[in-house]
């Protein structure tokens, strides 16, 4: 079981807004930055959100991140078919002295 | 353009060793922490090991502690992962990635290699 907990799946229709949650603890999300990674089929992961709510250049503003206490969320608005893939949250864990990834959420665009 | 290229993967028998390399270019290698992240077939991402910009600090996942060793050569812009006492559950694509933090303690991985496959099988 992952230190960071994500729902295994999420889905939506084109144009909808979906949210993916990530639950942790004080030793990781509660005290460190949260990152979100997108992995499309057959490709390396891509940084989607950094330092809780910042978007790297080139990432559409349809993607947004938020954090409250030891939980974080990734929201995707105006869902598109090309958003279909796996999404992982990550954070440094002070107690384990390492990076922890969530188990991943598989997003399906219906 | 920042680039990370892994090499050294292949098929290896349980209990044996393999060494991975990751050659970097396009950025000031000695200014950043570096990490290895793996992904078993059909599974999620698992952080394996990280090293600070100067090589003084190394961090390991519990699953590999005592078996894997991360190191770097800043004169060659290369990071290594020595993998000993390999187990079937170590079978995965191994990605090299750069942390935005010099100490390597953020997990901000903007740049990734394409990965190299290590298959542990008899």
In tens, the pLDDT along B54-73 reads: 999 999 999 999 999 999 99
Q: What is the mean pLDDT of chain B?
A: 96
Q: What is the pLDDT of residue A1?
A: 63
Give the residue on B whose Cα is nearest the Cα of A98: B59
pLDDT higher than 90, residue B109: yes
Nearest-CA distance A57 → chain B (Å): 11
- Does B62 reach chain A within 8 Å, measured CB to CB? yes
Q: Which of B108, B110, B115, B116 to mutate to test the interface with A (most CBs of A within 10 A)?
A: B108
> How much of chain B, in percent, has pLDDT values that exceed 70?
100
> How much of chain A, in percent, has pLDDT values that exceed 90?
97
Is residue A9 within 8 Å of A20, Cβ to Cβ?
A: no
Q: Give the C-alpha separation, A101 to B44, whole Å.
A: 8
Q: Which of A3, A45, A99 to mutate to test the interface with B (most CBs of B within 10 A)?
A: A99
Is residue B119 within 8 Å of B11, Cβ to Cβ?
A: yes
Convert the pLDDT of each residue in A97-106 to its tens digit: 999 999 999 9
pLDDT higher than 80, residue A7: yes
Decide: residue B1, CB within 10 A, 0-12 exposed, 13-18 middle, 19+ buried. Answer: exposed
Convert the pLDDT of each residue in A39-83 to its tens digit: 999 999 999 999 999 999 999 999 999 999 999 999 999 999 999
Give the residue on A whose Cα is nearest the Cα of B115: A44
Q: Which of A45, A50, A86 sits opposite B108 (nearest CB)?
A: A50
């Amino acid at each position: 079981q992952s230190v960071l907990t994500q729902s295994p799946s999420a889905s939506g229709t084109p144009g909808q807004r979906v949210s993916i949650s990530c639950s942790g603890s004080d030793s990781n999300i509660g005290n460190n930055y949260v990152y979100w990674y997108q992995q499309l089929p057959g490709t390396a992961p891509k940084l989607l959100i950094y330092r809780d709510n910042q978007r790297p250049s080139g990432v559409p503003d349809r993607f947004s991140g938020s954090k409250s206490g030891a939980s974080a969320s990734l929201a995707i608005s105006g869902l598109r078919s090309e958003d279909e893939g796996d999404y992982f949250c990550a954070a440094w864990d002070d107690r384990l002295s390492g990076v922890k990834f969530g188990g991943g959420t598989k997003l399906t665009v219906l | 353009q920042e680039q990370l290229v892994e090499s050294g993967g292949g098929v290896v028998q349980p209990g044996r060793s393999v060494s991975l390399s990751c050659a970097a270019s396009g950025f000031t290698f000695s200014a950043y922490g570096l990490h290895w992240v793996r992904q078993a077939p059909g599974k999620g991402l698992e952080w394996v090991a990280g090293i600070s910009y100067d090589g003084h600090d190394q961090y390991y996942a519990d699953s590999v502690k005592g078996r894997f060793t991360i190191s770097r050569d800043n004169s060659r812009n290369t990071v290594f992962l020595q993998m000993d006492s390999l187990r079937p559950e170590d079978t995965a694509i191994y990605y090299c990635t750069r942390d935005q933090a010099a100490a390597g303690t953020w997990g901000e991985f903007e740049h990734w290699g394409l990965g190299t496959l290590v298959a542990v099988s008899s």
